[in-house]
Amino acid sequence: MVLDVYYDNQDKHFYLFTLKDGQTQVLHADNTLETISAANFEETKNTDLAQDFKEFLLKSSVTTESEPDIDNSSLIDKIKIAMESYSDSRGERFKSTSLARYGRYYGLAVPEQIMQFGQVDGVKYTFKWHGYTAGVGEKDFEILACYVNEAGTEVILFGYMDGRPTILHTEGQPEIHKNEAGAIIDAQVHFVDFHQPILEQVFK
């Protein structure tokens, strides 16, 4: 999972800062912006950079935890059926996403970056899903399922907000800040409670 990208314009190096199986990894390739599509990334031999990245993550808001997975398979099935009905009523397809199968919301990776930058009613939350934790907040949202529409303009989250069954929906467009290389360095993704009769049947 790529957390950040950096391009060294002087030395023509691309760096990918990633998490693989819960471990930090820094990859690099000697390519220009014009040839990046053909890049062959390899693990960097710069041990200082790799160590700095590892220490940074330990201090940052993005962490991994070893938590037992709770069997929510029946609830996940109900969510899937409800989302199919909701999609039919909207005439628009919504894609199920996960940490291994992502989508895009205005260019942000779903679910990773919407977890990292998500807010609920203007309040920062800590989002958790299958032992992966992202975001800085005193309150928690435990994700059960995440969907994004085909246009990449809406995200719907099912889960537990401070222990309470909740459905969240994005509101408006996210505020995205990028560095000179075009990598996203910060963003604000706005969520609100989503009271939709078809979907609310999931928790009843």
pLDDT digits (tens, 9 = 90+) for 22-74: 566 777 677 655 555 556 677 877 777 677 666 665 554 444 444 444 457 78
| Full-model pTM | 0.67
Can you count the helices (H) and strands (E) in the chain? 4, 16
CA distance 190 to 134: 15
Sign of CA dihedral 155, 162, 184, 2: negative
CA distance 133 to 115: 8
Torsion (CA) 75, 76, 77, 79 in degrees, nearest 10: 90
Q: Is the pLDDT of residue 175 over 90?
A: yes
**DSSP for residue 60:** S
Identify whether the C-beta of residue 16 lies closer than 8 Å to the C-beta of residue 27.
yes
Place of tokens 């899903």: 129
Amino acid at 167: I
Instruction: Determine the pLDDT at residue 166.
Output: 97
